[in-house]
């Protein structure tokens, strides 16, 4: 599983390979700078303060041996020190710029890909997982590729090469000290192997727990009216505390494990440093190693164990990033419920002829909601759909919109299977008005123009007038620029519904799907909305799902859905509505005849 995640993560890096390679080259430039840093100390201690002969490599910088004076070497040492410092800071500046430039582009691309994939997935997926989990993945897991590449693997490889370069110089200075220094590395790699899997599993649990806690918090806040109405604030507070305590415990466990790992590495590092200093002093006293060389080795040791620690830390960071990549790739691997076939047909504007041919459907194949449903709607006609809760009314509209494909049977539009059309073109043929009108947290004008983003102000106003919304909009202080609040909660139910109708008028689609458009409205508001609906239905094929007889009387035929998935179709609208009262005392039938009064 881990290997598969790594391979897929490396494939995800391919589009950024040039930028990553450039960043890698810039990061590698730190290796010679790090190796040269202690050289001025050695030159001053051995060749200026001491009496050691000048190193042979200085002849490259001063071909004339007479120029190699102590003053010249002092100036050279100070020049290397200052030049190395300036170059190190410049390298760090360029590295930061490149890292953030590449990393930010990666994160943006990954978030866009995740968001696009989330949009393609079915409503069942979002109902099951919850929007907060999806938001968490887009916000946090999408950064994992950056964490893995520019913030993880490149510093890790740079640390390994820096370690190798310093070890080569140490071997030339004193191979025994180099061997002692290297003796601690197996222990560090052993600790890394032991802890890396535990850390990845721990971070995976933290991310899942944090996502679940955020989902619960978002759900509670979005249902604030219900929570307050039932006086359950304290219960929700306790639930919130419990979930985030669980998340904090999981995070604490991972951080403690990381701390134990760092402690073990630190202890082993200290033992190695003590051993090298002890042996190094003996070599200085024996005359086999100069004092400057020992100071240089000592500097390398402190720097040597720094990349070793960095390597260990980066390995743990990589495990955290891989845990995020697993969740990221999990979403990308999800297959949409309604894939678009190759070479799908383009559709500009449909005539509006809809037909169901022996359609059966169930979210679970063992339990069908609709069984062998067959009916047709001629262009410009209205079909009313009635039935009890759970009989499949809304499922019917979801199938027409191709949110799902039928388990059995075929649905056609203008005598062509829905599966043969491009999905975007197909859905562009429908204007939809739902029972629970969802408005976005923006202005009224932008909510109406959501159906047609390029619409002019005059077109928006005309659509509002046709929907009977213009008058109440003009009475608002900011008119069409008024903010509707989250989910449109600053407006009444009737006002939200009229804005939804204005949206449908503006789209001017050939087919309408009206799903309980007046069920939550009072009688007076319903009359206003029904008047707008009848104007909207003119010349359009309409599927009307409703419980109220007043809404259904404008239909040309009625489809009655029964419990168990069975259905029957009739063109005798008025007599069908009246006959339902004699069938039985079911609540949905009484509601239908009584006009939906509460």
Asked if residue 517 and residue 493 are part of one domain, the reply reads no
Per-residue pLDDT of the chain (598 residues; tens, 9 = 90+): 456 778 888 888 889 989 999 998 998 888 788 777 777 877 787 777 776 766 666 666 665 655 667 777 788 888 888 988 899 899 889 999 998 999 889 989 988 888 888 888 877 777 777 777 778 788 878 888 888 888 877 887 887 787 777 778 777 777 787 787 778 778 877 877 777 777 778 877 887 887 777 777 777 776 666 676 667 778 778 888 888 888 888 888 888 887 888 788 778 878 877 887 888 888 878 877 777 777 777 777 766 666 666 666 666 677 778 878 888 888 888 887 788 888 899 999 999 999 999 999 988 777 888 888 999 999 999 998 888 877 888 888 889 989 889 989 999 999 999 999 998 899 889 988 877 777 888 889 998 998 888 889 999 999 888 888 888 899 888 899 988 887 677 888 788 888 888 888 888 889 989 887 776 666 777 777 788 888 888 889 999 887 767 677 788 888 888 776 667 777 666 655 555 543 334 444 544 444 443 3
Q: How far apart are CA 43 and CA 74, in angstroms?
A: 8
Kindly state whether residue 526 falls inside one of the protein's structural domains: no
Asked if residue 170 and residue 119 are part of one domain, the reply reads yes
193: CB partners within 8 A, 6+ apart: none
192: CB partners within 8 A, 6+ apart: 261, 311, 312, 315, 316
pLDDT at 61: 61
pLDDT at 584: 39
Asked if residue 403 and residue 498 are part of one domain, the reply reads no
End-to-end CA distance of the chain: 56
What is the per-residue burial (b if ≥16 Cβ within 10 Å, else e) of 171-193? eebbebbbebbeebbebbeebbe
Task: Compute the C-alpha angle 203/205/209, nearest 5°.
Answer: 120
Cα–chain center distance at 509:
32
Domain boundary (277, 301, 333) is at: 333
The CATH number of residue 461's host domain is 3.40.50.300
Asked if residue 243 and residue 262 are part of one domain, the reply reads yes
Domain ranges, residue 292:
2-333
Asked if residue 256 and residue 173 are part of one domain, the reply reads yes
Asked if residue 361 and residue 216 are part of one domain, the reply reads no
Provide the greatest CA pair distance for the chain. 121
Kindly state whether residue 52 falls inside one of the protein's structural domains: yes
Kindly state whether residue 123 falls inside one of the protein's structural domains: yes
The CATH number of residue 63's host domain is 1.20.1560.10
Kindly state whether residue 99 falls inside one of the protein's structural domains: yes
pLDDT at 56: 64
Asked if residue 163 and residue 144 are part of one domain, the reply reads yes
In eight-state DSSP terms, residue 360 is E
Q: Which run of H or E residues covers position 385?
A: strand 382-386
Residue 596, Cβ density class (10 Å: 0-12 exposed, 13-18 middle, ≥19 buried): buried
Instruction: Kindly state the tokens that stand for 190.
Output: 């052993």
pLDDT at 316: 67
Q: How far apart are CA 121 and CA 129, in angstroms?
A: 11
DSSP string, 528-584: HHHHHHHHHHTTSEEEEE-S-HHHHTT-SEEEEE-TTS-EEEES-HHHHHHHGGGT-
Domain boundary (281, 310, 333) is at: 333
φ, ψ of residue 15 in degrees (nearest 5): -60, -15
Asked if residue 246 and residue 155 are part of one domain, the reply reads yes
Task: Compute the C-alpha angle 90/95/101, nearest 5°.
Answer: 130
Asked if residue 234 and residue 182 are part of one domain, the reply reads yes
Domain boundary (333, 366, 382) is at: 333
Asked if residue 409 and residue 443 are part of one domain, the reply reads no
Q: How far apart are CA 184 and CA 268, in angstroms?
A: 6
Q: How far apart are CA 415 and CA 82, in angstroms?
A: 80
Kindly state whether residue 181 falls inside one of the protein's structural domains: yes
Q: How far apart are CA 516 and CA 514, in angstroms?
A: 6
Asked if residue 553 and residue 440 are part of one domain, the reply reads no
pLDDT at 422: 92
Asked if residue 26 and residue 116 are part of one domain, the reply reads yes
The string of pLDDT tens digits covering residues 284-326 is 788 777 777 777 777 777 666 666 666 666 666 777 788 788 8
Q: How far apart are CA 106 and CA 321, in angstroms?
A: 14
The closest alpha carbon to 517, from 203, 503, 506, belongs to 503
Kindly state whether residue 448 falls inside one of the protein's structural domains: yes
Instruction: Kindly state the tokens that stand for 413.
Output: 């539009």
pTM of structure: 0.65
Kindly state whether residue 534 falls inside one of the protein's structural domains: no
Domain count, the chain: 3
Kindly state whether residue 340 falls inside one of the protein's structural domains: no
């Amino acid at each position: 599983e881990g290997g598969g995640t790594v391979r897929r993560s490396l494939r995800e890096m391919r589009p950024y390979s040039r930028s990553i390679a450039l960043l890698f080259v810039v990061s590698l430039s730190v290796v010679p700078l790090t190796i040269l840093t202690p050289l001025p100390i050695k030159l001053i201690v051995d060749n200026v303060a001491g009496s050691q002969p000048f190193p042979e490599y200085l002849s490259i910088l001063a071909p004339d041996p007479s120029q190699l004076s102590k003053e010249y070497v002092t100036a050279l040492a100070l020049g290397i020190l200052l030049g190395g410092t300036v170059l190190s800071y410049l390298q760090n500046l360029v590295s930061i710029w490149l890292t953030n430039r590449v990393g930010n582009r990666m994160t943006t691309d990954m978030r866009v890909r995740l968001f696009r994939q989330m949009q393609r997935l079915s409503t069942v997926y979002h109902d099951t997982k919850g929007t907060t989990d999806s938001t968490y993945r887009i916000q946090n897991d999408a950064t994992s590729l950056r964490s893995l590449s520019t913030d993880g693997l490149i510093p890790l490889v740079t640390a390994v090469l820096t370690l190798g370069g310093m070890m080569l110089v140490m071997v030339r200075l004193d191979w025994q000290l180099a061997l002692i220094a290297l003796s601690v590395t197996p222990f560090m790699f052993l600790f890394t192997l032991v802890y890396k899997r535990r850390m990845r599993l721990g971070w995976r649990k933290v991310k899942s727990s944090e996502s679940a806690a955020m989902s619960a918090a978002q759900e509670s806040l979005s249902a604030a009216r219900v929570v307050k109405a039932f006086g359950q604030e304290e219960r929700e507070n306790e639930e919130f505390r419990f979930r985030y305590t669980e998340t904090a415990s999981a995070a604490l466990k991972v951080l403690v494990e990381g701390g134990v790992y760092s402690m073990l590495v630190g202890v082993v590092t200290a033992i190695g440093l003590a051993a090298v200093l002890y042996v190094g002093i003996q070599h200085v006293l024996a005359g086999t190693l100069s004092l400057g060389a020992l100071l240089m080795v000592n500097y390398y040791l402190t720097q040597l164990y720094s990349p070793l620690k960095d390597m260990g830390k980066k390995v743990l960071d990589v495990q955290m990033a891989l845990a995020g990549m697993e969740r990221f790739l999990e979403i990308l691997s999800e297959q949409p419920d309604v894939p678009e076939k190759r070479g799908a047909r383009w559709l500009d504007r449909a005539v509006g002829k809809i037909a169901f041919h022996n359609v059966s459907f169930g979210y679970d194949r063992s339990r069908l909601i609709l069984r062998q449903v067959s009916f047709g709607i001629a262009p410009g006609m209205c079909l009313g759909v009635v039935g009890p809760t759970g009989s499949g009314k809304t499922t019917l509209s979801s199938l027409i919109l191709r949110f799902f494909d039928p388990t059995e049977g075929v649905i056609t539009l203008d005598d062509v299977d829905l599966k043969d059309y491009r999905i975007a073109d197909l859905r562009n043929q429908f204007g939809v008005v739902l029972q629970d009108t969802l408005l976005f947290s923006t202005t009224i004008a932008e909510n109406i123009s959501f159906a047609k983003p390029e619409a002019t102000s005059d077109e928006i106003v005309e659509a509002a007038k046709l929907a009977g919304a213009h008058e109440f909009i003009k009475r608002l202080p900011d008119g069409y620029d008024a903010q509707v609040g989250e989910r449109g909660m600053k407006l009444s139910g009737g006002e939200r519904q009229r804005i939804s109708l204005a949206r449908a008028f503006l789209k001017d689609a050939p087919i309408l799907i009206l799903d309980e458009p007046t069920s939550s409205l009072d009688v007076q508001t319903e009359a206003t909305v029904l008047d707008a609906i009848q104007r909207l239905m003119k010349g359009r094929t309409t599927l009307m799902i409703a419980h109220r007889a007043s809404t259904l009387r404008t239909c040309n035929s009625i489809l009655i859905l029964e419990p168990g998935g069975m259905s029957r179709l009739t063109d005798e609208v008025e007599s069908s509505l009246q006959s339902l009262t004699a069938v039985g005392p079911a609540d949905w039938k009484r509601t239908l005849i009584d006009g939906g009064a509460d």
